Structure 1
């Protein structure tokens, strides 16, 4: 990060949102190990444009996200690039973008029901409602929900095709850094992954650092990671060229 501007720690049942400018850098770090960060992206100038999981995966021919991958909107533009993907134990990070988010029913069935009025900061928030709280701040609602990313969560399929959460590489110090390629409304929560079967509700905090990214160069790793990413960056350039006129 060329210039650190802001840092904060988000508790393990929290939610947060911010509009980040093009050229911003966000680094998220799993402080204790086992964290999950659900995240959505929207274009603050046109909130109908948002993160598109199917396009992100199919155009880069991948099921998992890692360093080099770009995060696409439903307009073929790039919200952000994954410029760093640090695995503290060397086993490699894995970031799920197909399983969605937890909801009130799934959390209550797994860990019981607590509400903020009674339990204050120890209440058991779920990802769906956490997203809705943040979306409402921008005039958005459940109709504006999309398939989200789950940072630090690895999902695998067995021979029968059943998907489950693999926590083998979930350790303290894992981090991911996103460089924003366009102005982006970032909405996130730190509620459990929907496939998390831990005995106790996982209050796993994360650190968020915001700063300025180095300029994108012709030999940029993410830009050249896939041929499709070249077109995504061109779409962004065209978008900002038109905005100047």
Structure 2
């Protein structure tokens, strides 16, 4: 049997010092203030390729080419988009929320942030966001949730979406849920801050690689609203736009810069 050797206090202190130095340098490289939320109501989309309506309780899958824009629009309170993405051409590379939060020193993924793949590349950027009310911590509705018997759960929807994409359960990463104002209180407990939502919120994601995605429009498990009715989501695919030299998503952190360097080497 292997014996555990306690770490020396000086080793622990040295490791802690290295971590805190890395954190300090990471935070110093980040912008002093994130951008203001995107305006409400949402402006008319430009360069529309197509749009779709995803009813409450349903899922949706599609592809985005590098540079294209995906807009998600809530059509009322209760709609939430649990979202997963994979790199097209090699679906073993998928979004990685733990790395995404760790590399940007925040779980508050909103306008100006990026989502990394598990290969250290940037899979997509959040270029517009009216509420900043997105959940990277708690996931979607579990199977057989008692308060929504009329609908499949988020997990059930995602398993169906995976099959449609030729994937299996093991390919499902942690989900980022848009329009889900989950926050953490002083005791470390999740709570739902509904004051962040307007009922007509929207986000836009820019594909930084060719990618495929799946989403589920199901009421979030922490949403205090009850009842079977979940509003629809509008999903709009738009043509690519020119990316400016000072684009915040590409320059917000040293880690984001390195992620885009990894994209360029792919």
TM over 0.5, shorter chain: yes
* TM superposition score normalised by structure 1: 0.86
Contact 1:66/1:85, CA 8 A, preserved across alignment:
yes
- C-alpha distance after superposition, 1:134-182 (max 9, x if no partner): 1012221111111100001011223332212222222222110011010
Contact 2:112/2:252, CA 8 A, preserved across alignment:
yes
Contact 1:85/1:176, CA 8 A, preserved across alignment:
yes
Contact 1:97/1:150, CA 8 A, preserved across alignment:
yes
* 2:63 equivalent to 1:19: yes
What is the SS of the residue equivalent to 1:81? strand
Distance (whole Å) between structure 2 residues aligned to residue 2 and residue 104 of structure 1:
38
RMSD value, Cα: 1.5
The structure where strand makes up a greater share of residues is 1
Contact 1:104/1:126, CA 8 A, preserved across alignment:
yes
Larger Rg: 2
Distance (whole Å) between structure 1 residues aligned to residue 195 and residue 229 of structure 2:
16
> How many residues end up aligned between the 2 structures?
222
Distance (whole Å) between structure 2 residues aligned to residue 19 and residue 208 of structure 1:
12
**Residue number among 79, 97, 115 corresponding to 1:53 in the alignment:** 97
Instruction: Name 1:102's counterpart in structure 2.
Output: 141
Structure 1 residue runs of 4+, over 6 Å off? none
* TM superposition score normalised by structure 2: 0.79
Task: Give the CA deviation at 1:23.
Answer: 1.1
Q: Which consecutive residues of structure 2, in runs of 5 or more, have no partner in the other structure?
A: 1-44
Instruction: Name 2:264's counterpart in structure 1.
Output: 237
* 2:203 equivalent to 1:157: no
Distance (whole Å) between structure 1 residues aligned to residue 242 and residue 128 of structure 2:
15
What is the SS of the residue equivalent to 1:228? helix
Contact 1:192/1:202, CA 8 A, preserved across alignment:
no
